[in-house]
Structure 1
């Protein structure tokens, strides 16, 4: 490693910014948090005082004019992600952007084009990829130790009440890009996709069951993969007993995790199939217990920058997940199966995740 120290800044000082500040604090030997910015400058100053950040700015323009930055953490509402990331790329700064990275595939592809013309890079926060258990599972699966992947289940069943959606940017296609598919379950099924690899086809439904939103509050999907595996995916914000679960059934073992907002090794179990107890040795091998979280991903980001490589999760990696989101909505709203890569630039689902329109919008009463 180069031992280089990175100059970083946080844009948007709401709740998720705390996770970024904590992660940076734990990596203080590798990076300096030199500035924060927020459209509410008083909130930026309060955040800066709390985390001992020397500079607070009232927006990205002032931030980029005043600071020479290596990495900008975008912690704003989703509708601001793409415009702000584009401005950072034009300034030559790399960006670590919270999910979803953009509101649409069209925005995503515009961001990828801008990255190509910049010295900076864009990485999406998909921190569940980086826990040691997920890393171990990917290694064992790639080595063939678990046999063929057969079946998987992925469920994000969370609870968000009406007050949660009182924030004006929540629950709308224009500002959040979608409901729990886009903003909540995306972490779990991104991990699913990172383990099972390229997906082939999705059949889905989405519904607005209880919340006063324009978007769905529940979605479900059946997915097939290039490697022959099949999976179910559930995303909900109407589930009083909250849980985040993943289960992978391979030929030689079942591997599963249950947690809520983050896991460590103790949340995972491996159950060998009869006659395949040997797989336990690979699973229980000595190693660091690294929890999933922003610190784990940020460490990997700095490792990549030290090597002169694009930081994870790259736009190439994240596009598979965003294509899945768009395909889920397209299937749910058209009633058709949707293949990977089917949503081209001329599709209405490329420019907006609700595409042809959510079916409940037509039946809503004033």
Structure 2
């Protein structure tokens, strides 16, 4: 097993989460460098985490530190260009969400990966707990039966002050509101558990927050396996919760948490007459490791050791981003959107606001109160 040289770009709040979790990888990673445009913030972060390499721009970091992997912890509008710069230099990328602000930008990754021979992965840490792996194996298999109906709720609360940072709540900097920046983790896990989505019908609104994007979206999604799910993404909910529920033929699978989960956050309920088979199937799975960044980091290192594609790689990350684009496209056009509809030339391929259509619809029909 190799020890990988890791660098962190961007030293804000999420970077500390990365640094702390890198320290929990049992020597599989060495944090060799950090990068930020703010020298004071960079020095404070590097000093706190014992990082020797300190750089004010990415090009100097790539040349000087020679990392194996770069973690992108910068604001969303920088992710795709920084990822491409790393990939073309032959350095693997682990990017915070969202991986790009549009499908058009995201599709630039394919050429960059081919040029540098490196791989892209997105931080979707909820996929990597033992319980999610067990649920993925059992949903659709004989003991639990095929999935029929599901719901996926990201019900969070953010006050107006959350948008004081000038890049927050703008289409050009974040790509959207809670659909892109908050609920994406939860519905990525739903896709991981249920497989390919096929069609979505959605609404979005700016109900009460001083933001240029939506503060609420709700979608009805049909999956390729026949399951139907609702997805709600909110920043208006004082009692915060993140929930997934999947009702299969013989079992209900539930996950109730907020920002991360352990095995204790999962509940399995058997249908009458199927208690023995369901409980035996669930307890027969390894259920020790919870979700989190370190779990994804270790899975990434194992894949690199074995020469396998990175987990949460470009292909699966694109499926999640495409669903976000489809939610916006359906909400702002009032029509269902099928997987594969949003292609070059489609108004929502180049941006989640549909070349400005999204903002116009929110202003015209959905805005209840935006306070100055």
Q: Hey, what's the Cα distance between the residues in 1 that align with 2:298 and 2:135?
A: 20
Superposed CA offset, 1:51-95 (max 9, x none):
011111112122112111100000000000001001101211000
- Corresponding residue for residue 244 of structure 2: 246
**Structure 2 counterparts to residues 150-161 of structure 1, below 5 A:** 150-161=148-159
Contact preservation (8 Å) 2:105, 2:350: yes
Superposed CA offset, 1:10-49 (max 9, x none):
0000010111101110114111000000011221111010
Contact preservation (8 Å) 1:272, 1:280: yes
Contact preservation (8 Å) 2:93, 2:119: yes
- Corresponding residue for residue 233 of structure 2: 235
Superposed CA offset, 1:196-235 (max 9, x none):
1011100000000111111000000000011010000000
- Corresponding residue for residue 339 of structure 2: 340
Contact preservation (8 Å) 1:214, 1:361: no
1:147 aligns with 2:152: no
Gaps of 5+ in 1: none
- Corresponding residue for residue 119 of structure 2: 121
Gaps of 5+ in 2: none
Q: Hey, what's the Cα distance between the residues in 2 that align with 1:247 and 1:344?
A: 31
RMSD between aligned residues: 1.3
Q: In the TM superposition, what is the alpha-carbon distance from 1:301 to its structure 2 partner?
A: 0.4
Q: TM-score, normalised by structure 1?
A: 0.97
Q: Hey, what's the Cα distance between the residues in 1 that align with 2:136 and 2:95?
A: 24
- Corresponding residue for residue 21 of structure 2: 23
**Structure 2 counterparts to residues 272-311 of structure 1, below 5 A:** 272-277=270-275, 278-285=277-284, 287-311=286-310
Q: Hey, what's the Cα distance between the residues in 2 that align with 1:86 and 1:101?
A: 11
- Corresponding residue for residue 263 of structure 2: 265
Contact preservation (8 Å) 2:72, 2:95: yes
Q: Hey, what's the Cα distance between the residues in 1 that align with 2:16 and 2:311?
A: 21
Q: Find the partner of 2:135 among 129, 134, 137.
A: 137
Q: TM-score, normalised by structure 2?
A: 0.95
Aligned residues: 364
Which stretch of structure 1 is more off in the superposition, 352-361 or 83-92?
A: 352-361
Q: In the TM superposition, what is the alpha-carbon distance from 1:141 to its structure 2 partner?
A: 2.0
Q: Hey, what's the Cα distance between the residues in 2 that align with 1:276 and 1:142?
A: 15
- Corresponding residue for residue 185 of structure 1: 183
Superposed CA offset, 1:145-165 (max 9, x none):
211110000000000111111
Q: Hey, what's the Cα distance between the residues in 1 that align with 2:165 and 2:290?
A: 30
